[in-house]
A and B are shown apart, each in its own frame.
Chain A
């Protein structure tokens, strides 16, 4: 049995990778299969160290590729065990085929994605095109703003994935380098408390129950395939509620609230920014500064990306004094309007029969820095839009023109 390392709430200087690895140690999964890839490598090194020193009971499979990492997780989950992995950018792309299999087979696998740009050109730095590229593969998707959120989200992800109403895999993204490799203050929970919070996995249709042999992954022809897809839609819809409930349970246990979205100074905001990931933190700083100058800017940070919290977003927008919206996309959708988040927000407006002026900012691709000045520049454009001036629909931030 693994020893108990953390006995009380502790504040530590941790990188995102360290925080994610620590969460994995405390979750103590049955099986971890993973392949190193920058900027996730360090995370797996930390975890491998836990294995090497008997700090987890995990069966660790250092596979020969990400494709095999996810394949082994599928096998392990179908065998009734709790399985986890982690990857980044091209690694997630290489897993892509098996992502849909994991969700289609309704296997509650949990994965950290250290968000990284996709090739070409090859680039090891942060952006969210990896997860955005995988967004229709039936995984629940959470994004973290900082290292502590990654830790908290990963712990919650276990409960979200394994709930009988969902039985869906969950990926939790954090921005590569900016979060994965930066040291920040992180609040860690006691080992026991995490163990109690995640509880025992509920086993369904285990391959290891040889007295009740089950078949996983059968062929579904035209007469049944759609029914299983419809089930997945249903599970994803229910996941919306499950994520909220788990967030409430987390608050009850540990005093920190997690919802589908986080709002910042939204109530009286004239201008609304919508951001995913670490840039939301920078945006908060800028908002404070803008407010000192009298510009009422507010923020909606998306934590749950799939299932998309359409109503939460619209409730937040409508609770504000919104005159125009700036959506921040750290991924491209070549050939579509704006980035992926832009499309989701547009759909959210449609659901409410509303139409706020809105523009999109493509930022931070391949790790391009997005600093205070760039966000101020974006807010200026949103203000112009609100004032009825003509502003391009899609804008690149911090681009060499």
Chain B
């Protein structure tokens, strides 16, 4: 994945922004925040507190969680005033390899 020394930009510069998106930290998750749209009032408390930029919002509406990157800390569910997010064990959702 990392190129040979002749092909890397000099000095360890990363010229392209936000490439960490390609790195899947969702793998780390033991608990999964499950979103129930019906209970959500779009207060965006989950969004303002998420440490991993994983609350998906479209047109000012909370639409779900970025499971590719969510590490399952549970802050969103813990702080949600309407219990629209609930933490459930990850194994319930992952297929066995």
Contact = CB atoms under 8 A, between A and B. Distances in A.
A120 interface: no
A212 B13 CA distance: 13
Interface string B1-45: 010110011111111010000000000000000000000000000
A105 B12 CA distance: 7
A227 B2 contact: yes
Contacts of A214: 13-15, 17
Given A224-B2, A228-B5, A107 B17 contact: no
Interface string A209-228: 00011111110100110111
Contact of B14 (A107, A167, A215): A215
Contacts of A220: 12
Contact of B4 (A213, A227, A235): A227
A350 interface: no
B10 A212 contact: no
B91 to A, nearest CB: 30
Nearest to B3: A227
A226 B9 CA distance: 14
Given A224-B2, A227-B4, A216 B13 contact: yes
A205 B15 contact: yes
A106 B11 CA distance: 5
A231 interface: yes
Contact of B11 (A104, A213, A226, A230): A104
A77 to B, nearest CB: 10
Contacts of B5: 226-228, 230-231, 234
A216 B11 contact: yes
A217 B12 contact: yes
A104 B8 CA distance: 13
A107 B10 CA distance: 10
Nearest to B9: A205
Contact of A228 (B11, B14, B15): B11
A218 B13 CA distance: 7
B8 A205 contact: no
A322 to B, nearest CB: 39
B12 A104 contact: yes
B17 to A, nearest CB: 5
A141 B56 CA distance: 53
Interface in A198-254: 205, 212-218, 220, 223-224, 226-228, 230-231, 234-235
Contacts of A217: 12
Contact of B10 (A167, A218, A224): A167
B16 to A, nearest CB: 8
A118 B2 CA distance: 42
Given A223-B2, A227-B4, A228-B5, A218 B12 contact: yes
B23 to A, nearest CB: 13
The 8 closest A-B pairs by CB, nearest first: A106-B11, A227-B5, A215-B14, A230-B5, A105-B11, A106-B10, A213-B17, A205-B13
Given A212-B17, A216-B11, A224-B8, 9 more contacts: A104-B12, A106-B11, A205-B13, A205-B15, A218-B13, A226-B5, A227-B2, A227-B5, A231-B11
Interface of A: 104-107, 167, 205, 212-218, 220, 223-224, 226-228, 230-231, 234-235
Interface of B: 2, 4-5, 8-15, 17
9 contacts: A104-B12, A105-B11, A106-B11, A214-B14, A216-B12, A228-B10, A230-B5, A234-B5, A235-B10
